[in-house]
Chain A
Amino acid sequence: MVNLTIDGKQISVSKAATIYEAAQEAGIHIPVLCYAKKLLPYGACRVCLVEIEQMKGRLIPSCTTPVSEGMVVTTTSEEIKKVRKTVMEFLLVNHVLDCPVCDKGGECDLQDLAYELDSTSNRFEGEKFDLPTDEVNPLIERNMNRCVLCGKCVRVCDEIVGYGSYSFINRGFETKIATAYDRGLNCEFCGQCLSMCPVGALLPRPFKFKARPWQLKEVDSVCGYCGNGCTVTLGVLGDRVETIRFNDKIGVNDGNLCIRGRFGYSYVNDQERLTKPLVRKDGVLVETDWDEALQVVSDGLLKAQGGQGVGFLSGARLTNEEFYLLKQFAKTVGTENVDHSGGECYKGVTEGLKQTLGVAASTATFPQIDKADVILAIRSDFYETHPVVGMVVNQAIRRNDAKLLIVADKKGKLNKLPGAKTLLSKPGLELDVLNAMAKVILDEGLAQTEGVEGVAEFQASLANFTPEKVAARSGVDAEALQAAARQLASAKQGVVLLAYGLPYQGLNKELATAAANLAILTGIPGREGGGLYLCGEKSNSQGAIDLGILPQNGGLGAQAMLAGASNGKLDALYVVSEDPLSSYPDRDKVAQALEKVPFLVVQDIFLSPTAQLADVVLPAVSFAEKDGTFTNAERRIQRVRPGIPSPGEARSDGAIFSALAGKLGNNLSFTSAAAIFTEIGKDVPAYAAIGFNELGAHGKVWGGETLSPASRKLVAVGGGTTVEGEFQLVVGSALYHSGTVSTKAKGPLAVLSEAYAELGREDAKDLNVAEGDLLKISGNGAEIKLKAKVDNRLPKGVVFVPYHFADAEVNRLYKGEPAVSVKISK
């Protein structure tokens, strides 16, 4: 700690603090433009100048100067004010004063500063810039005439996102921020830059001229897309969500968002949303009222339960409270057939982690990744499924010199991070690589085996996984593999990352088990700092597992339900917030089940392909209209708050379950989400310790920041298998989308509007394929046509297809395997 005096106030702060941070801690205001809490000090704007007793004679920028013992700082005096005002005059020489039409007006740092410093005139004259604005890209409007060259966009894109879109070009008065070759922006479109911009140089294009900031009602909620659980602050005007506001005060994401979170909100305002219940009459879905729809549903379910039974298939984007009501409703109907997300993809957590660590969740929280020294990412897709955790990984590397190891079948954003070491294996053989790493650690005596069960059996099972053998099979370099294993074993704060979701069903349980084995051998789970993270694809994947939306007590799982529905063993299917026809593997199987099942109820916000087959469609509501909690992939329970009223007669999933249960004689009525949350505590012990009203700004993590594993048991897993054939197709998540719902959101659609088949350059050259050519891809007895995308991400022989787009029918090829052998022709 260092003692110093600021404006006569004695302060004691950490020696790493700058004068600005010290002043902030003491509640002393110093104006700034280029400073941001999450970025490294830069000192571009010179607005934060202060006087230091020991350095009299000149003024010192407070945001870049570290504190030192006995420093005496003055932050306001006539002279300082005069100098700051002059700095403002310099800044305003070129800045166009188009505040009336600039969307930043009202929350513009420069505007506030001009007001604060009373800058009403300018002694200097200079040319105002008249640069063309970048309106080529659909999401980020760049108007460099308003830029004050604070460099925040450059820094955030580099330090946090790790993309590096921007840089300063030219010199002197001509200096400006530009992309490579000063072309239009073509990046991840995460919009971090526009959230940082202190002026109106970078603005969200979808929000252009929509409203003034002071007109918006701000509602803090949690993003409805992935399991990262970022706080999104909805900017609500009337009954529409018009934008997502910047908020770094609360939540886990430090104000960082990805394209889905920042620009993927428009589907909640969509005109196509279901507003009335639909019931099939004479083969056509017709609008009806709730009374009739609920009657038809309850009659249908009762009849089915009297016959072969009912199955509930849920998505993973319901709130915890709704999951609870779903479970109670299923009990009321009298069935144990309840499952979510295709039933297979989460088995890494419920079975893989359960059998090794005895817990069914990630063992640590996301902020701990920031301080890790070695990070192992299994599958490069982690950045694509959970971009904001990917940004934390980037910060760990850049700020704290963490070493990143990647075991994957293709390259991705993570591979581009500095110093990333990639073990690129054939699709399906990542498992062998993990086993080989475990073998190296055990054989070289680097393993931490104290208190670990099953070491001998495990070691014996690894005979076939020597680095050399695995290298020969998988194409990974044996020495690199050994080096990676040693590095992971030497980690003081190690992190293992693995994402799961509908497109990652193949070997999911085995991969999670192998990852857990590796983590146990390197002492990762349960140790302070770092941990094993298994992150769900959807916003409440973890909540679904915690609340037991799983086949229990002999109930059928999702796949068994679909099979049952096809061969007459199930008389009704109730699908909630999910579009199995578009997103589950094996479309034919799903289609058959949905067509054959005698009674199909679909509860969703859009008339999805699945809903079009239903007997009854019930209009549900989006995350922006719900009250309750989500549990993110690090076990953090956070509040979801309603920002807008629901369109038409749409009701929340929870309200529908309550109403239906009431019709069946079980009065599931609760006064509020808080009351249901208390009930959840009775069923789920981990939730009992947490009060709904105590969730606060950062939520509450159940099981503590570091979850101690209940057991440390090594479980042998066999190797993976590769598929033969010229091309191996792997499906997965694209960065711009999440699940199928983002294909209804204008922002993500504007960047990626249709499915594609991605090929490496070598393959493209061999096939004589150029970007945009239509390819025929056949395999697994089906053929689909997709446009080609060519880049250098994929090794030879691997084709990647994103799974989000319903009309691409990718799941006709993909049936849940790690890779599909396909033929490609033009």
Chain B
Amino acid sequence: MFKEFAKGLSITFKHLLPGHSTTVQYPTVKLKPSERFRGLHRLVPSQDREKCVACYLCPTVCPAKCITVESAENEKGEKYPKVYKIDMLRCIFCGYCVEACPVEAIEMTAEYELANYNREDFEFTKQRLLK
């Protein structure tokens, strides 16, 4: 029995040694999230505009109702989102918007540092989302 105790504790002590820690010194050290991580949204640009065609599927599917879209017609007669906003305080990062998008115009990035001081700063407009 004593032998087992020693065996177990040796694993514990081994982890106390340098180089075996899983925590990192955030913010000086940052972890790379997995590829499937659902962080801040990004609107995908195409050549001269956003890829989004304002089909309204993302605000429709969004369970948190955090996406606001207003469509309009541009000079070429195309449908485009005049307004595209995500209220990040409401967003639950479920990724349904990405799944619903028929033109792959919205994706989720690895960006997870979303804390801020003002309520307004959580409103991500089209310009911010296109970055």
CA distance A91 to B77 in the complex (A): 26
The stretch of A204-212, A497-505, A585-593, A679-687 in contact with B is: A204-212
Q: Give bound CA distance, A101 to B78, whole Å.
A: 8
- A-facing residues in B64-86 (Cβ within 8 Å): 71-73, 77-79
Q: Which residue of B lies closest to A100 (CB)?
A: B55
Question: How far is the CB of B16 from the nearest CB of chain A, in Å?
Answer: 56
A contact residues around B102 at 8 Å (CB): 99-100
Say whether B56 faces chain A, with CB atoms less than 8 Å apart.
yes
Which residues of A have CB within 8 Å of B57?
100
With A99-B102, A100-B102 in contact, is A210–B71 under 8 Å at CB?
yes
Measured in the bound complex, the distance between the Cα atoms of B53 and A516 in whole Å is 60
Q: Are A100 and B71 in contact (CB under 8 A)?
A: no
Residue of B nearest to A133 (CB): B77
Select one of A99, A135, A208, A212 contacting B60, CB under 8 A: A212
Q: Which residues of the partner chain A approach B54 to less than 8 Å between Cβ atoms?
A: 101, 209
**Contact, CB under 8 Å: A100 / B103:** yes
Q: Which of A175-209 contact B (CB under 8 A)?
A: 208-209
Q: Which of B60, B72, B103 contacts A209 (CB 8 A)?
A: B72
Number of chain B residues whose Cβ lies closer than 8 Å to a Cβ of chain A: 14
Residue of B nearest to A213 (CB): B56
Q: How many A-B residue pairs have CB under 8 A?
A: 28
Query: Which residues of chain B are within 8 angstroms of A101 by Cβ–Cβ distance?
Result: 53-55, 78-79
Q: Does the CB pair A100–B77 fall under 8 Å?
A: no
Contacts of B79 in A (CB 8 A): 101, 209
Are A209 and B55 touching (Cβ within 8 A)? no
Within 8 A of A (CB), among B35-53: 53
Q: Which residue of B lies closest to A208 (CB)?
A: B73
Q: Which residues of B contact A135 (CB under 8 A)?
A: 77
Q: How far is the CA of A135 from the CA of B54 in the complex (A)?
A: 21
Provided the pairs A100-B103, A101-B78 are in contact, do residues A212 and B56 lie with their beta carbons within 8 angstroms? yes
A215 contacts the other chain (CB 8 A): yes
- Quick one: CB contact mask for A117-143 with B, threshold 8 Å, 1 for yes? 000000000000000000100000000
Per a CB cutoff under 8 Å, which of B55, B56, B72, B103 touches A215?
Answer: B56
Could you mark each residue 213-257 of chain A with 1 if its beta carbon is under 8 Å from any beta carbon of chain B, else 0?
011000000000000000000000000000000000000000000
CB distance from A209 to the nearest CB of B (A): 5
A662 CB–B CB distance under 8 Å? no
With both chains docked as a complex, state the minimum distance between the C-beta of A56 and any C-beta of chain B, in angstroms.
42
CB-CB contacts of B12-40 with A at 8 A, as 1s and 0s? 00000000000000000000000000000
Query: Is A642 positioned at the interface, with any CB of B under 8 Å from its CB?
Result: no
Which of B55, B73, B78 has the largest number of chain A CB atoms within 10 A?
Answer: B55
Return B98 CB to nearest CB of chain A, in Å.
Answer: 15
List, in ascending order, chain A residues with CB within 8 A of B53's CB.
100-101
CB within 8 Å of B: which of A417-471? none
- Cβ of A105 within 8 Å of any chain B Cβ, yes or no, is yes
With both beta carbons as reference points, the residue of chain A lying nearest to B101 in the complex is identified as A100
Complexed CA–CA distance, A135 and B78 (Å): 13
Contacts of A99 in B (CB 8 A): 55, 102
Interface centre among A101, A135, A208 (most CB of B within 10 A): A101
**Minimum Cβ distance to chain A for residue B50 (Å):** 13
In whole angstroms, what is the CA distance A101 to B52 when docked? 10
Q: In whole angstroms, how far apart are the Cα atoms of A214 and B56 in the complex?
A: 10
Please give, as numbers and ranges, the residues of chain B lying within 8 Å of A211 by CB-CB distance: 56, 71
Contact string, A91-115, partner B, CB cutoff 8 A, digits 1/0?
0000000011100010000000000
Could you say which residues of chain A place their CB within 8 Å of the CB of B60? 212, 214
Residue of A nearest to B80 (CB): A209
Q: How many Å lie between the Cα of A99 and that of B101 in the bound state?
A: 12
Report the separation of the CA atoms of residues A379 and B73 in the bound assembly, to the nearest whole angstrom.
44
- Measured between beta carbons, the chain B residues less than 8 angstroms from A214 are 60
Alpha-carbon separation in the docked complex, A99 to B103 (Å): 11
Question: Contact between A209 and B56 (Cβ–Cβ < 8 Å)?
Answer: no
Query: CB distance A105 to B71 under 8 Å?
Result: no
In the bound assembly, the distance between CA atoms of A208 and B78 in angstroms comes to: 11
Closest-by-CB residue of A relative to B72 is: A209
In the bound complex, what is the Cα–Cα distance between A105 and B78 (angstroms)?
Answer: 16
- The answer for the CA separation of A738 and B79 in the assembled complex, in Å, is 34
- Report Cα–Cα, A212/B56, bound state, in Å: 7
In the assembled complex, how far is the CB of residue B10 from the closest CB belonging to chain A, in whole angstroms? 58
Knowing A100-B102, A214-B60, the reply to whether A105 touches B55 (Cβ < 8 A) is yes
* Across-interface contacts of A215 in B (CB, < 8 A): 56
Chain A, Cβ-Cβ closest to B74: A209
Q: Give complex CA distance A99, B100 in Å.
A: 13
Chain A residues lying within 8 Å of B78, measured Cβ to Cβ, are 101
- Which residue of B56, B73, B78 has the most chain A CB atoms within 10 A of its CB atom? B56
Report the minimum CB–CB distance from B80 to chain A (whole Å). Answer: 9
Closest 5 CB pairs of A and B: A100-B55, A101-B79, A212-B56, A209-B71, A100-B53
Q: List 20 A-B contacts (CB under 8 A).
A: A99-B55, A99-B102, A100-B53, A100-B55, A100-B102, A100-B103, A101-B54, A101-B78, A101-B79, A105-B55, A208-B73, A209-B54, A209-B73, A210-B71, A211-B56, A212-B55, A212-B56, A212-B60, A214-B60, A215-B56
A-to-B contact residues, CB < 8 Å: 99-101, 105, 135, 208-212, 214-215
Q: Can you name 14 extra interface pairs (CB under 8 A) apart from A101-B54, A209-B71?
A: A99-B55, A99-B102, A100-B53, A100-B57, A100-B103, A101-B53, A101-B78, A101-B79, A105-B55, A135-B77, A211-B71, A212-B55, A212-B60, A215-B56
